[in-house]
Amino acid sequence: MIVSTALGSDNYGCRMPCHGSIYGCCEDGITPAHGPNNEGCCLSTPYKCCPDNSLPARGPNFYGCGCQYTRFGCCPDNSTVARGLNNEGCGCLYTPYGCCPNRFTPASGRNFEGCPCYTYQFGCCPDGITIAKGSHGQGNSMINIQIWYIQYIIYNSNVESNSSIRGVENYIHFVRISFNALYNIYRLWMREYEI
């Protein structure tokens, strides 16, 4: 056995037993590695090793080791940690029926079944339930009824305008009804877009 003198404190400059081991020493110069690429050296870190026995864990319960070592494993993207069984927490893309049109909310059935109106492109009608078919209230039943009523009044005022007095009365009636209907459409539109 050869004995040598240390070159400093903490065994600095001394040949340690790990130098003669198959895989050499860990970075601390004292601990023997358990395999190639410093395998097993993470055992001396505060949270020990990840299950691969190479990477050091960054926290308790294999934190920082990768999703494959977590309780529910990885999402189908192989990087996101699943938060429950059946890809829970992985996003709506990985749910049985996919996503609602907003690509965030999970659908509860085929063809966007169970998707609330706010998940669609144009959102909800003023009733908060019906899906709007376009911008500015298109497809909103109350607005469509009022537009139809205006068209009906216009048609009837034109048909009945044969006598001049009757025509003036119809015109005044038409203006009054049209103004009220247009005002209601405007209010619905303002409420829908919260302006």
Quote the pLDDT of residue 51. 81
3-state helix, strand, coil in the chain (%, to 5): 35, 5, 55
Question: CA 27 to CA 174: how far, in whole Å?
Answer: 90
Task: Give the mean model confidence (pLDDT) for residues 117-130.
Answer: 85
Instruction: Of 104-113, 126-135, 148-157, 164-173, give the range with the top mean pLDDT.
Output: 104-113
Contacts of 65 (CB under 8 A, 6+ apart): 50, 51, 52, 55, 57, 58
Considering the chain, what is the average pLDDT of its residues? 76
Question: CA 190 to CA 195: how far, in whole Å?
Answer: 5
Question: Where in the chain are the domains?
Answer: 136-193
**pLDDT confidence tier of residue 17, bands split at 50, 70 and 90:** confident
pLDDT tens sequence across 96-119: 899 999 999 999 999 999 999 999
pLDDT tens sequence across 59-102: 888 888 888 887 888 899 888 888 888 888 899 998 889 999 99
